[in-house]
Amino acid sequence: MKTVRDYQPAEQTRKWYVRALYITISGNLLLVAIKAVVASLTGSAALYAETANSASDVVYSLLMVFGLWISQRPPDNSHPQGHSRFEPLVGLLVTFSMAFAGYQAASASISKLLAGGIAVEPGLPTLVLVITAVTKGAMYYTILQLSQKTQSPALHATAQDNLTDVMTSSAAFLGILGSYYVSPMLDPVAGLLVSAWIFKAVIGLVLENIKYITGGSADKDVVEQILHTTTSVPGVLKVHELVTEYVGPRLVVEMHVNVRGDLPLTEAHRINDEIVNKVLHNVQDVDRVYVHLEPENES
Ligand SMILES: [Zn+2]
Ligand SMILES: [Zn+2]
């Protein structure tokens, strides 16, 4: 008797994860290096803070590597259904990094606001902000594509974190130009707007990942798709119970299905397998399907 699920994560998916991790780590390391060099050349205090921000991105990328490595491991005796529930944990971890960036942006802006705004002369540190925005923009775009291919909440959170950095560095850049050429107050105002945007994104990501951890339900259209797929299998009379639950980033489906009561077991079993295979094949988010077959009048 088997007590561990027979399942291997797809090789292609594993490659996508590896690519996402390489992009994240090398991108963040590159930015730390550029910022550290320019910070030491110019002595810019703001840039030292930026270097710390990028260094914290490197730390979370390493935690991400570790977490995603675990989540991609095949089922074993310790986790007989697989390790996919580690994924949303990694996703939550990434939101901490985002929340920290949001907090930093807010507190820096508030102290500048209280000081009446400070005009900053554009220079080499300003150029670093542009480089950061462009690099993070490219990282956002590629990681977002990979997160859609892998359906990974952890990679989705990472993509959002990159977008956060695009916003903060663009706002800092525009803030510096605005503070120098228009009004010193533009810099802190831009910073506050960005931190508000970050906290909104953090709340969305936290809710998404908590749904995956706590067994949230599928969207209505996904339930509709499961029902439609099942009732289209020949021999199925009706579905009288359908329960969905996210277990990690993917769904577990439980159904009670009525078939004719006088079917031989081999035929009933064939119908059961056909339902399971069709739902797994047709509905993207589904990881497992359990079907309870019942004769026509049972409920
Ligand atoms: Zn069977
Ligand atoms: Zn029933």
pLDDT at 238 > cutoff 80:
yes
Distance of CA 266 from the midpoint of ligand 1 (Å):
9
Q: What is the pLDDT of residues 242-271, one digit of tens each?
A: 999 999 989 999 999 999 999 999 999 999
What's the CA angle centered on 150, arms 148 and 154, to 5 degrees? Answer: 85
Q: How far is the CA of 1 from the centre of ligand 2 (A)?
A: 27
Q: What is the mean pLDDT of the chain?
A: 89
Nearest ligand (C-alpha, residue 257): 2
What integer pLDDT is reported at residue 210 of this predicted model? 94
More confident residue, 234 or 14: 234
Which-ligand-closest: CA of 290? 1
Q: Where in the chain is the domain with CATH 1.20.1510.10?
A: 11-213
| Mean pLDDT for the stretch of residues 138-159 | 92
Ligand 1: centre distance to CA 226 (Å): 20
The predicted model gives 108-129 an average pLDDT of 81
Query: 246 CA to middle of ligand 1, Å?
Result: 24
The ipTM of this complex is 0.81
- What mean pLDDT is predicted for residues 150-172? 88
At 94 the pLDDT is 83
CATH for 11-213 is: 1.20.1510.10
Q: What stretch(es) of the chain map to CATH 3.30.70.1350?
A: 220-295
Topology (CATH level 3) of domain 220-295: Alpha-Beta Plaits (3.30.70)
Residue 278's contacts (CB-CB under 8 Å, 6 or more residues apart) are: 229, 230, 232, 233
Are the beta carbons of 57 and 161 closer than 8 angstroms?
yes
Of residues 41 and 234, more confidently modeled:
234
Give the ligand at the shortest distance from the Cα of 276.
Answer: 1
